[in-house]
């Protein structure tokens, strides 16, 4: 995660997603405590009309396994 709270994530299929917003601050805080290569299960939705910009809409238990 960069200084502006944005992160680039890689899906299981190899696609990359640029997350720029979070449904709530606890999602942002949770991801801020992870490092490159950590696995996290989540849902993302498009954030506006720009291509490949996403918002985290849900996190799931067991994501760290």
pLDDT, tens digit, 9 for 90 and up, residues 12-63:
899 999 999 999 999 999 999 988 889 999 999 999 887 889 999 999 977 5
Q: Angle at Cα 1 formed by Cα 17 and Cα 10, nearest 5°?
A: 30
Cα–Cα distance measured from residue 44 to residue 19, given in angstroms and rounded to the nearest whole number:
8
Closest residue by Cα to residue 27 from 64, 58, 48, 63: 58
Region at 53 (left for phi over 0; alpha for psi -120 to 50; beta for the rest): beta
Domain ranges within the chain, ordered by starting residue: 7-59
65 pLDDT band (50/70/90 cuts)? low
Q: What is the pTM of this model?
A: 0.81
């Amino acid at each position: 995660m960069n200084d502006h709270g944005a992160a680039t994530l890689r899906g299981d299929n190899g696609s990359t997603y640029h997350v720029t917003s979070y449904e709530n601050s606890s999602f942002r805080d949770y991801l801020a405590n992870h490092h490159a290569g950590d696995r996290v299960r989540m849902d993302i939705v498009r954030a506006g009309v720009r291509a490949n910009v996403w918002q985290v809409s849900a996190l799931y238990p067991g994501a760290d396994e």
